[in-house]
Amino acid sequence: MFPGVWRGLDGIYGGYVLARVVEAVRVVDGFEPMSVSIQFTGAVRDVDSDWRVEVLHHGGSTAAVGVELVQGHPRLTAFGKLGGAQGERLLDFPIDLSDLPAPESLESYRFASAMPYESFLDHRLIDDPAHVRRGTTRAWIRFDESVQQAPELGRYGLAAIFLDAQPPGLFFTDPPPVYVPTVDFTIHFAPGGEFDRHGWHYVTQSTMWATAEFCVEESRLYDRSGSFIAQVRQTRRIVWSR
């Protein structure tokens, strides 16, 4: 069952669905997710769910896990690639965040149609929405559990939620679409590092291209020091009116 508090405009908020799938593939001891891809075949609802998880491959250095979510009929299929003994990063490209305004100096962001799950997030857009350039938004984000406690998720699931929390770039166009449901997700994780669920994280989201029917967006997540954590790319369907 998906908690109703994670409902979005049409079904369960995609970031939480992604988080649950990411957690579901972690079934091989000693292996951690490197990438997870999801194909949606229907909106996920807050109803009884049948999770079907299968280890498709378990080798010496990699493993593969398949996931299917059924709610009356299949709602998504997913494929997770896991790696063992990933060790420290030999190559890394941290970014300089020293010139950004402090999170506490910015106002909290809320979607025009308030979402229940926003009570879990302290989300501060860095750029004025009226001046978002080329469909790219930047923000500070962290979990805020002062109102109620968020469901327990590991670092991978939490990163997935942060990556999908940004407002879609098309929301800043004139006129904006009503909503942009996700068609597919692919998320990639960097190995190592700590994840402070209550610490500030830096997230960017860019619209790579858009037509009147679909768009592709890419998001990247960093910790407060500028170290890369994960990135996600998703295809969205664009709904202009109900």
Q: Does the pLDDT value for residue 30 go beyond 70?
A: yes
pLDDT band for position 131 (cuts 50, 70, 90): low
**CATH number of this structure's domain 4-85+103-237:** 2.40.160.210
Spell out the residues 6+ positions from residue 10 whose beta carbon is closer than 8 angstroms to its own: 43, 179, 181
Q: Does the pLDDT value for residue 130 go beyond 80?
A: no
Average pLDDT over residues 118-147: 80
- The amino acid at 126: I
Percent share of the chain, pLDDT over 90 = 60
Four-point Cα dihedral 81, 87, 89, 94, nearest 10 = 80
Strand ranges in the chain using DSSP code E only, listed in sequence order: 31-40, 50-58, 62-71, 73-84, 121-125, 136-143, 182-189, 201-210, 214-223, 228-237
pLDDT band for position 98 (cuts 50, 70, 90): very high
**pLDDT at residue number 44:** 93
At residue 166, φ and ψ (nearest 5 deg) are -70, 145
Alpha helix ranges (H) inside 130-211? 155-163
pTM for the whole thing?
0.92
Q: How far apart are CA 216 and CA 171, in angstroms?
A: 14
Domain residue ranges of the chain, discontinuous segments joined by +: 4-85+103-237
Residue position matching structure tokens 């990556």: 163
Q: How far apart are CA 81 and CA 224, in angstroms?
A: 27
Spell out the residues 6+ positions from residue 105 whose beta carbon is closer than 8 angstroms to its own: none
Instruction: Please indicate whether residue 87 or residue 131 has the higher confidence score (pLDDT).
Output: 87
Q: Does the pLDDT value for residue 194 go beyond 90?
A: no
The three-class DSSP label of residue 27 is coil
Average pLDDT over residues 30-49: 94
pLDDT band for position 63 (cuts 50, 70, 90): very high
**pLDDT at residue number 154:** 85
pLDDT band for position 175 (cuts 50, 70, 90): confident
Average pLDDT over residues 173-189: 91
Handedness of CA 18, 19, 21, 26 (dihedral sign): positive
Q: How far apart are CA 37 and CA 227, in angstroms?
A: 23
Q: Does the pLDDT value for residue 150 go beyond 60?
A: no
Average pLDDT over residues 154-172: 88
